[in-house]
Structure 1
Amino acid sequence: MKWTTSIFALAAFGLAACGGGESEEPAAPETAAPEMAAEEEPTPEVVDPVAGSVAHPDRPADDVEGDERRKPAETLGFIGLEPGMTVIDMEAGGGYFTELYSRVVGEGGKVYMQNPPSFDGFLGDALETRLGGERLGNVVVMRTNFDNLDAPDGSVDVVTWIQGPHELWFEVNGESLGDPEATFAEIARVLKPGGVFVAIDHRAAEGAGTEAGGTVHRIEEEIIRSYAEGAGLVFKSSADFLSNPDDPLTNSVFDPSIRGQTDQFVIAYGKPE
């Protein structure tokens, strides 16, 4: 019968479709390949700008020799410089601190290296040695007296004056280096709101008066405080890491018995925001 033939044909077709009649084991589910752990990026070493500045291999040997008495790490820590800042190094001399500032503020910052024009004879080739070959490319030389700072209003984050405010009462070849009141007004003018002024100087005995600045190169801390406050600056902090209670406070700072070991005050004032 045709119907019977069709049944057998369908059966044969089904067996062929099942692989010759032998049943297959069900396929095992595919197992996902284990994910490879992503390689962790090495954490870049963070170098503290102050430590990096003090330890920089390009610092002159004479600077490094002076570190023990000048305490650069403590000084920079007190000042609070950060990368990108603009700073005026008043009475920078040969640039001991200028170089340290330059390394801390980096390419995005600026350092004004200020000295009065009458210091040219004292400095000799110190500036060329310090800045020659564009070794400190973010440093700008400022040749002005203290009461005529060549910087725009409100453009500076920090002004420092290290071992220098007493020079306001010292004359070079009979000429003043700046009027005290006008000098502090200039410092306040160039500072940004919230900016900081740091003064470090050789301490004079109580009652020595401003004339000590022109004789023994010292000044009373209270005199500098009064001028800062008179310019509208506000006291922030002080430190004693440069103090020496054995200093008689009356010798010239160039006296061999005390040179490099003077008792120095360290104060910071801020410009109100």
Structure 2
Amino acid sequence: MAGVIFKSFALAGFASAVLLGCSPDQTTTPAELAEKPDASDRAIDAALASRQRPVEDRSDDDLRKPESVLSFIGIEPGMTIFEMEAGRGYYTELFSRLVGPDGQVIMQNPAAFDSFLGEVVEKRLANNRLTNVRVSKSPFDDLDAEDASVDIVTWILGPHDLYFTPNGGTSLGDPVETFAEIKRILKPGGTFVVIDHRAAVGSPPTTGGTVHRIDPAIVLNLATEQSFDFVGESDVLHNSDDDYNMNVFDASVRRKTDRFILKFRKPE
């Protein structure tokens, strides 16, 4: 499958980005944003350039390529995004700005993640910084959202964790039931976007609990079983030099893995 980038054309220019609470810093001027080919790209640039973004987030941009990833996802103002395994909130921050005051981001992490996340989520949301973000501590197979209430579900660097048990504890969610839950909370026509560390073709699901990688075919199969339509993929995070046998936390590959991006749609 060829790498593709899908773009949304629903925003209304640079003025909309300002209304979303995103103010460009000295590296991105209004004139430069106006030269962008479509309004969604201009809004993404404004969100990335916001002075309110933590310095730690900005330092990750070169490796995470958020401009291309966000363009692929296709976020519009007023949407509700369920962000599975949001982690420390790097993308939460950007989603919040792009959906705007009339939208909502549900920032989900399993309760088992509290032990290594510490207070980082609370600090990100302190002083009412992101008023349209709600925190959810729920397992993957029992998502904290109403039926057909969500426009986009994202799962960034996470599906492999279906086969991982933190600290030797219990499963974070049954794989089949998890994908059924994703389908349940999405509106008809809603979008599901997955990013994860690629494992070698034919790798067993248990690879998710050892080197923290997953064969994209496993994700495709789970989505197909729930009748999701495959929309496309992006190769923007591809790295042909990655060693699929290495644990993603190994210093030799950490933050440089070959990551696949898949996009699905719930049937109308």
**TM-score bracket for this pair, using the shorter chain length:** 0.7 to 0.9
The residue aligned with 1:270 is 265
Structure 1 residue runs of 5 or longer lacking an equivalent are 1-42
CA contact (8 A) 1:112 1:140 kept: yes
Matched, 1:248 2:209: no
Correspondence 1:113-262 to 2 at 5 A? 113-173=107-167, 174-262=169-257
Question: Cα gap change, 1:44/1:149 in structure 2, threshold over 3 Å: closer, same or farther?
Answer: closer
Letter in 1 for 2:190: G
The residue aligned with 1:17 is none
- Counterpart CA distance in 1 for 2:133 and 2:15 is 27
Cα deviation, residue 151, structure 1:
0.4
Structure 2 residue runs of 5 or longer lacking an equivalent are 1-12, 18-41
- Local SS of the residue matching 1:154: coil
CA contact (8 A) 1:111 1:139 kept: yes
Letter in 2 for 1:192: K
How many aligned positions are there?
A: 231
Correspondence 1:40-55 to 2 at 5 A? 45=15, 47=17, 48-55=42-49
Task: Give the alignment partner of residue 78 of structure 2, picking from 84, 97, 107.
Answer: 84
Question: Cα gap change, 1:84/1:207 in structure 2, threshold over 3 Å: closer, same or farther?
Answer: same
* Alignment root-mean-square deviation, CA: 1.2
- Which string of whole-angstrom CA distances, capped at 9 and with x for unpartnered residues, describes residues 89-146 of structure 1? 1000110000100000000000000000011111111111110110000000010010
The residue aligned with 1:64 is 58
Identity, % of aligned positions:
52
Cα deviation, residue 248, structure 1:
1.8
- Counterpart CA distance in 1 for 2:74 and 2:111 is 29
- Local SS of the residue matching 1:176: coil
CA contact (8 A) 2:197 2:260 kept: yes
- Counterpart CA distance in 1 for 2:75 and 2:61 is 18
Query: TM-score, normalized by length of structure 1?
Result: 0.83
Runs of 4+ off more than 3 Å: 43-47
Letter in 2 for 1:55: A
Cα deviation, residue 230, structure 1:
0.7
- Counterpart CA distance in 2 for 1:203 and 1:166 is 9
- Counterpart CA distance in 2 for 1:272 and 1:136 is 31
CA contact (8 A) 2:14 2:43 kept: no
Q: Whose radius of gyration is greater, 1 or 2?
A: 1
Letter in 2 for 1:134: N
Cα deviation, residue 44, structure 1:
7.7
- Local SS of the residue matching 2:201: coil
Cα deviation, residue 45, structure 1:
4.6
Structure number with the bigger relative contact order (C-alpha 8 A, sep ≥ 6) is: 2
- Counterpart CA distance in 1 for 2:15 and 2:120 is 35
Question: Cα gap change, 1:190/1:44 in structure 2, threshold over 3 Å: closer, same or farther?
Answer: closer
CA contact (8 A) 2:233 2:263 kept: yes
Letter in 1 for 2:128: E
- Counterpart CA distance in 2 for 1:182 and 1:127 is 27
The residue aligned with 1:28 is none
- Counterpart CA distance in 2 for 1:134 and 1:261 is 33
Letter in 2 for 1:241: V
Cα deviation, residue 49, structure 1:
2.1
Query: TM-score, normalized by length of structure 2?
Result: 0.84
Question: Cα gap change, 1:245/1:140 in structure 2, threshold over 3 Å: closer, same or farther?
Answer: same
